[in-house]
Amino acid sequence: MGLINALGNLGGYFGPLLVGFLNHRSGNFLEAFGVLSLGYLAGAGLTLLLRRPAAARV
């Protein structure tokens, strides 16, 4: 649980930092939110790959 909390806190710091950097670089938010969307899609895809342990399946 601590690892999940730590990664969530890092995302809360680096997400806005990345959006600001990409917005400054490109001049609009389209590229920044596109990169964030790809990150969310990658996280969703990784979640779909997870399997429950055999004992937990009911």
31 Rama class: left (phi>0) / alpha (psi -120 to 50) / beta = alpha
For the purposes of burial, counting CB atoms within 10 Å of the CB of 1, is it exposed (0-12), middle (13-18) or buried (19 or more)?
exposed
- The pLDDT tens digits of the residues spanning 8-18 come to 899 899 999 99
- The pLDDT tens digits of the residues spanning 18-39 come to 999 999 999 999 999 999 999 9
Domain parsing of the chain, residue ranges: 2-56
d(CA 20, CA 31) in angstroms, rounded, equals 11
pTM of the model: 0.68
* Cα 39 to the center of its chain, rounded Å: 5
- Both structure tokens of 4: 């999940």
